[in-house]
Amino acid sequence: MGPIAVTQLLALISLTVALDNGLLKTPPMGWMAWERFRCDIDCSDDPENCISETLFRDMADRLAEDGWKELGYEYVIIDDCWMSRLRDEQGKLQPEPSRFPGGIGKLARYIHDRGLKLGIYADMGTHTCMGFPGTTLDKIELDAQTFASWGVDYLKFDSCYSNPLEQMLGYPLMSKALNATGRPIAYSCSWPVYVGGLPPAVNYSLLGEICHLWRNYYDIQDSWDSLQGIVEWFSNNQDDLQPASGPGRWNDPDMLIIGNFGLSVDQARSQMALWAIMAAPLIMSNDLRNLGNIERAILQNKVAIAINQDPLGIQGRRLLQEKSRIEVYWRPLSHSASALVFLSRRTDMPYLYHTSLAKLNYDAGNYEAYDVFTGSTVRGLNATSEFTLSINPSGVVMWYVYPEKESKQADLPHYRHNKGSQFTFHKANARHHTVL
């Protein structure tokens, strides 16, 4: 590269200001356009689904009116294809006027008036992934100032049509530029996925200083196979990825596809459970105007959300891969609690899985376990007590587990104790079992 690269490299070396604006101490929650609506810009023939201010106003209305905002779903995030094909006379990015006639600033005010926040997309390169104007190194400060002037609250910064040197320079410089605007803007970096997602190519210590969250792996598609591939990659590399995550710095396995076309109900519960265990952003990409009641209940499950939003911010891990194709995931939580997910990778029939908390490395003692998706509770569960779970194919059982002595603590996740369950519990050394 030319002289500009040398100048920017010197700026990078002297970069000591971290992105410390106090945002995203828990994983962000909200809605994003890409997976469901892609780059549909045909507003003549498909006005309800094209990338336009109407779509984002509709989704903001749904978040505000249908109980999402109160649960923490607060970001409405524009992805690629919002821009005009050309910058304006001052060199600034501008929305396509036929699809965003009011401009981004007016859309931001509409969203803010509903108690929500606006996210936007740009690309560290000559063009966005879909061919719209990119943010080259010399445009970083201008674009950051433009976004702040519009009232943007979140930036997803992609990296199509750039090279590793430009990425190494551009991502820290955008962090510094966002800080300099004086507006608190959450910063999502796509940098890791473009260089393989793992150390030594990815410096997660640096990422934790300059970004609030980052995309590690390929885009999710609307299929169970895609979801499984993401979970497998994160689990296989959890020793590198898990320590990088924490309050204000999150690994991002990509969007929630619950409510679209590719997942069964059991698979939808599996994604919600696994994203909660992984302390992943809960960013939906679906059509909130046409969401089924079952999918809505999964996405609005208060205990699953509470587990995801646990203030300790420790990402969970895969504990076991059984020959039976049952996998066990675990996450430590506040107040000596924890979450367990029992995932079936099987495709045949419900599987009876036998285990105990002691086999899952729990300390001796008595526990209670709340089943996140059935609403039932197991009481008097000693660590050595054997229990049996029935897990549906490509489904999960998700438990919120806590020491019995903590069961009355007021600030544990709120839930109702309901009767009825899908598992049986066996007292150790007993000759009978009790169905709870």
Candidate list 58, 219, 222, 266, residue with the active-site label: 219
Helix (H, G, I), strand (E, B) or coil at 3: helix
Question: Residue 220 has what DSSP assignment?
Answer: P
- Nearest 10 degrees: CA dihedral of 120, 126, 129, 130? 90
What is the H or E stretch that residue 45 is in?
none
Q: Based on the residue annotation, tell me whether 66 is a catalytic residue of this protein.
A: no
Backbone torsion region of residue 361, taken as left when φ is above 0, otherwise alpha when ψ lies between -120 and 50, otherwise beta: left
Cβ pair 266, 224 in contact under 8 A: no
Q: Based on the residue annotation, tell me whether 45 is a catalytic residue of this protein.
A: no
* Peptide bond connecting 200 to the previous residue in cis, omega within 30 degrees of 0: yes
How many angstroms separate the CA atoms of 30 and 360, rounded?
A: 33
Nearest in space to 69 (alpha carbons), one of 29, 110, 24, 120? 29
What number of CA atoms fall less than 13 Å from residue 199's CA on the CB side? 13
E strand intervals along 213-337: 213-215, 250-252, 282-284, 317-321, 326-332
Candidate list 79, 143, 153, 158, residue with the active-site label: 158
Name the residues annotated as catalytic.
158, 219
